[in-house]
Amino acid sequence: MSAAPAVTDASFAADVLASSKPVLVDFWAEWCGPCRAVGPILDQLRVEHGDKLEIVKLNVDENPQTAAQFQITSIPAMKVFQNGEVVKTIIGAKPKPALEADLAAFIG
């Protein structure tokens, strides 16, 4: 599990959609093994690139509305939002170098 700040159905619009900075949302759940595995990697990326890319997490169990709105059917799913739009989707846990490559446009 990542130590990233949590966003919820209630806070999603303000925290993510209205953000002036790109925001990566980690859609996760307690029962998802790969989600727990990728969490610490997202924490490292947050420390190293937090100035360019916000990283937050959304628990799909507790926030079904947002998960349904973005048609999440597989987790971990990481979506980058910019100006309220999804600009990048990453499905599945990946090693840090692979995530850095996927996110190069935002953290490079």
Partner 1 sequence: MRQVIIIGSGPAGYTAGIYAARANFKPLIIASSVEAGGELMNTTEVENFPGFPEGIMGPELMQKMQEQAEKFGAEVLLDDVTSVELAGDVKKVTTGGGQTFEALTVIVATGSAYRKLGLPDEDRLSGHGVSWCATCDGFFFRQKTVAIVGGGDSAMEEANFLTRFADKVYVIHRSETLRASKIMQDRAQANPKIEFLWNSAVSSVNGADALTSVTLTDTVSGDTRDLPLDGLFIAIGNDPRTHLVHGQLELTTEGTIAVKGRSSKTSISGVFAAGDVIDPTYRQAITAAASGTVAALDAEHFLQALPAETLAQVDNH
Return the range that interacts with partner 1 (CB under 8 A); candidates 1-9, 14-22, 27-35, 48-56. 27-35
DSSP class of residue 2 equals: -
Q: Considering the rule CB under 8 A, would residue 6 count as an interface residue with partner 1? A: no
> Of 33 and 108, which has the nearer Cβ to partner 1?
33
Rounded Cα distance between 2 and 84, Å, is 23
Positions annotated as catalytic residues are 32, 35
Rounded Cα distance between 100 and 58, Å, is 21
Binding residue for partner 1 (CB under 8 A) from 38, 53, 56, 107? 38
Angle at 85 between CA 16 and CA 57, to 5 degrees: 35
Q: How far is the CB of 44 from partner 1 (least distance, A)?
A: 10
Q: What's the distance, CA 76 to chain centroid?
A: 9
Task: Using CB under 8 A, list all residues that contact partner 1.
Answer: 29, 31-35, 37-38, 40-41, 60-61, 67, 71-75, 77, 89, 91-97
